[in-house]
């Protein structure tokens, strides 16, 4: 191969690599997102033993816990039609109260008029994969929609303690992974300035079930930063490790995204 042909070949390879890298860079997304969520909370709960079923009770009415707000942290990335994210959300409800009715909690009887301390402390870890079946992100408005796979891992503990009575301190740990399937959509309302997204997933197996949905609108005040306002709903039912809970969390959230 003479020098002229080699130079032309080398130039072609360089142009091919530059164009390929440019296309990948344009399709690449990477960033972090922080949420602050204000959910209303309702739940029934029961703590069993291997030989005895405990008392099922309404957590808010019986234990007097109030609604709490929580933060979440998410990292996300994607190339082209493929999107992957991981989110962590710690949650805690606790209160000191006096029981108005007797409860069997993990095999221990707590009588009415007993002063107790109640704690429900857990976290949710979510991994999501979204594939865009329809992707029109290059047009002015922009629109994409596709199936979503999600695994929600819930782990934590619940405790009921009567400080004035020796031996009346019951703590039960629980954990459960729940695979989920659903749909995700994204709409660019005003090019890259105002956008909307919606996601819904759900699944149930062996007494454990989850339905999760969110929708929000985000504005981009300047490059690489999005400000979100939205609403999120989770129905979570666990029946695992001698622990039963049927709970809903629903309410508005705000979020901040830094990414490209």
Contacts of 169 (CB under 8 A, 6+ apart): 159, 160, 161, 162
pTM for the full predicted model = 0.85
Region label for 207, one of left (φ > 0), alpha (ψ between -120 and 50) or beta (otherwise): left
Q: Which residues of 132-207 form beta strands (DSSP E)?
A: 134-135, 143-161, 169-190, 194-205
Q: Would you give per-residue pLDDT tens digits along the chain (260 residues)?
A: 555 543 444 444 444 433 343 444 446 889 999 999 999 999 999 999 989 999 999 999 999 999 999 999 999 999 989 999 999 999 999 999 999 999 999 999 999 999 999 999 999 999 999 999 987 765 555 788 999 999 999 999 999 999 878 778 999 999 999 999 999 998 888 767 889 999 999 998 888 999 999 999 999 998 899 999 999 999 999 998 899 999 999 999 999 999 98
CB 129 within 8 A of CB 68: no
Cα separation values, 219 from 43, 135, 195, 198, Å: 34, 20, 7, 15
Q: Which two tokens stand for residue 194?
A: 């105002």
Q: Check if CATH label 1.20.140.10 holds for domain 30-259.
A: no
Round to the nearest angstrom and report the end-to-end CA distance of the chain: 43
Report phi then psi at 5, rounded to 5: -65, -40
Give me the pLDDT at residue 2, please. Answer: 53
DSSP-derived letter for residue 187 is E
Which tokens go with 237? 């039912």
The residue written with tokens 């996300």 in the block is 76
Give the per-residue pLDDT at 204.
Answer: 87
Domain residue ranges in the chain? 30-259
pLDDT at 139: 53
Q: CA dist 108 to 93, 96, 158, Å? A: 21, 18, 14
Q: Are 193 and 182 in contact (CB under 8 A)?
A: no
């Amino acid at each position: 191969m003479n020098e002229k042909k080699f130079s032309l070949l080398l130039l072609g390879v360089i142009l091919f690599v530059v164009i390929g890298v440019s296309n990948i860079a344009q399709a690449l997304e990477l960033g972090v997102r922080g949420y602050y969520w204000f959910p209303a909370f309702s739940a029934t709960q029961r703590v069993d033993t291997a030989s005895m079923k405990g008392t099922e009770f309404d957590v808010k009415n019986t234990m007097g816990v109030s609604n709490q707000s929580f933060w979440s942290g998410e990292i996300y990335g994607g190339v082209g039609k493929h999107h992957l994210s991981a989110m962590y959300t710690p949650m805690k409800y606790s209160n000191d109260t006096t029981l108005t009715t007797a409860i069997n909690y993990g095999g221990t009887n707590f009588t009415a008029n007993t002063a107790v301390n109640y704690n429900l402390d857990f976290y949710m870890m979510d991994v999501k994969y979204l594939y865009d079946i329809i992707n029109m992100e290059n047009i002015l408005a922009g629109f994409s929609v596709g199936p979503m796979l999600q695994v929600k891992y819930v782990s934590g503990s619940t405790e009921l303690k009567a400080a004035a009575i020796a031996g009346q301190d019951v703590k039960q740990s629980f954990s459960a992974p729940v695979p989920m399937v659903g749909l995700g959509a994204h709409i660019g309302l005003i090019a890259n300035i105002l956008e909307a997204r919606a996601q819904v997933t759900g699944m149930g197996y062996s007494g454990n079930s989850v339905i999760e949905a969110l929708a929000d609108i985000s504005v981009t005040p300047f490059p690489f930063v999005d400000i979100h306002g939205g609403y999120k709903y989770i129905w979570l039912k666990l029946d695992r490790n001698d622990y039963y809970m049927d709970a809903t969390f629903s309410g508005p959230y705000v979020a901040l995204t830094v990414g490209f």
